[in-house]
Amino acid sequence: MNYNIITSQIDLLAKTLLDAPVGYVEQTIAEIIKKPIYLKVVEQNSISGTKYVRKVVIGHNQFPIVSAITKFDSQNLPESVMSGLLQRRESIGKILRKNNIVAQRGSVVINYDPEQKKITRGYEILYKNSVWFQVSEEIRLDFLNACQYR
């Protein structure tokens, strides 16, 4: 297979995923690979008082496509959003959508590692100019690509 074709496909996959609006990463991955995906809240703990850390994996079968670590302060969130987070079943995006909250992504920092075929991204989820969540993601393009063609 031509390496340039593979590179351009990875670039297109990455761009598609990176362009996904807040709350639509799961849906975008499912559309890219055309297979069911899972979201697993691996860990969610209070680190001090009202401050929390949440670790999530989104993947297909044994492939963890996106790993995310999210920090948030429960004092900044409405009770309905915090209640959804404490259930540990759904993504932040789904919880926000259920509560009719349209959030934006701010302060995006993206790094691409072509050797390991992964992208790391850090950003904030903002609502009405207030930072609700700080997110650090690792996107495995090799796994995304593998799942697409399995």
For residue 46, list its beta bridge partners.
52
| pTM of the shown model | 0.87
At 14-70, the pLDDT tens digits run: 888 888 888 889 999 999 999 999 999 999 999 999 999 999 999 999 999 999 999
Please give the torsion angle defined by the CA atoms of residues 115, 150, 120 and 129, in that order, rounded to the nearest 10 degrees.
160
The pLDDT value given to residue 14 = 82
CA distance 146 to 114: 16
Of how many residues is the chain composed? 150
- The pLDDT > 70 percentage for the chain reads 93
9 versus 90: which is more confidently predicted?
Answer: 90
Which residue, chain included where needed, has tokens 């994996």? 57
What are the residue ranges of helices labelled H in the chain?
A: 3-18, 25-33, 79-87, 92-98, 141-148
For residue 126, list its beta bridge partners.
104, 131
CA distance 62 to 52: 27
Domains in the chain with CATH codes: 3-148 (3.40.1410.10)
Q: Check pLDDT > 50 for residue 117.
A: yes
Q: At 3, is the pLDDT very low, low, confident or very high (cuts 50, 70, 90)? A: very low
Average pLDDT over every residue of 6-21: 73
The angle at the Cα of 124, spanning 147 to 76, to the nearest 5 degrees, equals 125
